Amino acid sequence: MKLYALARKINKKIKQRRRENAGRYLSPVRRLERFSVPAGEKIVSMTFDDGPMNMPINPVTDSKYQDWGLTRVLIDIMGEYGAHGTFNVIGTTEYNYPDKPGELHKPTWSGVKHDHYPQYGKDQYAGAKNQGDLVRALIENGHEISNHGYRHVLFGRNNIVYGSREHFSNIQEVVEDLTKLHNLLKNEFNYEIIMSRPPHYIDKIPDGFTSYEAYALMGYDYLAASFDGGGWMPTVGDYKEDVRKMVDPIKNALKNNPNSLNGQIIFQKDGYNMSLMTPVATALKEQLEILSQHGYKVISVRELKKLYPFEDFHDVSKNFEIARDLDQQGFILGYKTNEFKPDKELTIGEMIMMTLTKQDYKEDLAKICNSKKDKSMYLKHPYYIGCKHYNRLDLMDRLDTVATKEDIRRFFNEQLGIDPVISKNTLKRFEYLEALSQLKK
Ligand SMILES: [Zn+2]
């Protein structure tokens, strides 16, 4: 598995650089990795990818679960601890043929051209399309459903691990696939999905857009994770070892610092691993036992985000409650990295963008996707969308400069018909929240 380790290392570096860039601009879609939670509370989230799955756990270590499908086992264990997860489900992989089965213990174990869940040739046993009863059971038990793609097709190319994989070629195809699963949940289960994680975290779509634009068009946030719960990694098929690899990281993290998992999102798998085993069926109970011993509550990402929406900010003395309220109303307040940066000085671009709702943004972005000229302007500066919205392209070359009191007052007067009370000559981002609160519906 040397190649796989190398790929992980390269990925980590790319991620770091991307994060620095992502922290520069406000975005309607935020990458939810972790949240800033006051030290007095202990809350954590868990996500489960690639299910729901209705094939037996392997091996069966508890006779109670003889003949149970994996997702039912997870629901049962979570229920014992009053824990609520975020299940990042697929629609079905049954249309991903013709294909060939891959090699066991390798990343392409489930198929060469595509993924097949829970296993090659057994596609009907996983996914919301064919496993509606499991989706219903998840919702009835208070778990969150998120969108992992209807067919689990890669958004774009990844030459390092999945060079022979097929992928989408443009944003329209990605949105069509996401919409199919979104509508399935809405129409058949009366459930509204609000976040998504791309298959294998591949973000770049070949037409120049990324998963962030696709998610903006869906009205989604980007579901990431900060803590790898394991259970999916390349293994040699040693079950006990696989379970240990899922439990030890959590145990050690809490031993070193009992508060360290506060506000984090733990990544897990609702399916077979690369050795066709389900270590999560044993490890989950041990993980939840340790977490509960340390006083943690396990809640869905949706609930966690509602309480503490940002990665770096929960300070009530800096208008946190106004920010949370505006966030709930759909205003664009945070950076792609899910930071708020309360003490950063407000720029002209941010002044404009923060007055937009995600709904405004979605409508403007849809138009931009259909125009070559608009698209190239948008790819040069993401705040083009705000200038275009207010018909203020004259502000384009001042987007990154600090906004003065005069700039803010004029913009509010001319564009929004509001006369804001502003005391200082320039504002920190948290101070601007007071002016914004006048926009509340
Ligand atoms: Zn997946």
Calculate how far, in angstroms, residue 46's C-alpha sits from the geometric centre of ligand 1: 15
What kind of architecture, by CATH, is found in domain 33-303? Alpha-Beta Barrel (3.20)
- Give distance in angstroms: CA of 94 to centre of ligand 1: 15
Alpha-carbon distance of 204 to 210, in angstroms, equals: 5
DSSP string, 174-237: HHHHHHHHHHHHHHHH-----EE--GGG--B-TTS-BHHHHHHHHT-EEE--SEE--SSS---S
* Cα–ligand 1 centroid distance for 53 (angstroms): 13
Angle at 371 between CA 369 and CA 375, to 5 degrees: 60
> What does each of the 441 residues of the chain score in pLDDT, given as a tens digit?
567 778 888 888 887 887 777 789 999 999 999 999 999 899 999 999 999 999 999 999 999 999 999 999 999 999 999 999 999 999 999 999 999 999 988 888 999 999 999 999 999 999 999 999 999 999 999 999 999 999 999 999 987 777 788 999 999 999 999 999 999 999 999 999 999 999 999 999 999 999 999 999 999 999 999 998 877 776 777 899 999 999 999 999 999 999 999 999 999 999 999 989 999 999 999 999 999 999 999 999 999 999 999 999 999 999 999 999 999 999 999 999 999 999 999 999 999 999 999 999 999 999 999 899 999 999 999 999 999 999 999 999 999 999 999 999 999 999 999 999 898 999 999 999 999 998 875
- Å from CA of 154 to ligand 1 middle: 9
271 Cα: distance to centroid of ligand 1 (angstroms) = 10
CA 148 to ligand 1 center in whole angstroms: 7
Q: How far is the CA of 313 from the centre of ligand 1 (A)?
A: 30
In the reported structure, the alpha carbon of residue 197 is separated from the centroid of ligand 1 by a whole-number distance in angstroms of: 8
**CA 430 to ligand 1 centroid distance, Å:** 37
Give the SS3 label for residue 185.
helix
User: What are the residue ranges spanned by the domains of the chain?
Assistant: 33-303, 321-439
Q: Ligand 1 centre and the CA of 355: distance in Å?
A: 35
Q: How many Cα neighbours within 13 Å face the side chain of 434? A: 12
The DSSP 8-state label assigned to residue 59 in this structure reads S
Q: Which tokens go with 180?
A: 């199919």
Backbone angles phi, psi at 79, to 5 degrees: -60, -40
Structure tokens at 178: 């996401």
**Å from CA of 269 to ligand 1 middle:** 8
Tell how far the Cα of 61 is from the centroid of ligand 1, in angstroms: 25
pTM: 0.94
Ligand 1 center–CA 115 separation, angstroms? 8
- Tokens 């509550």 belong to 297
Is 305:31 a contact under the CB 8 Å cutoff?
no
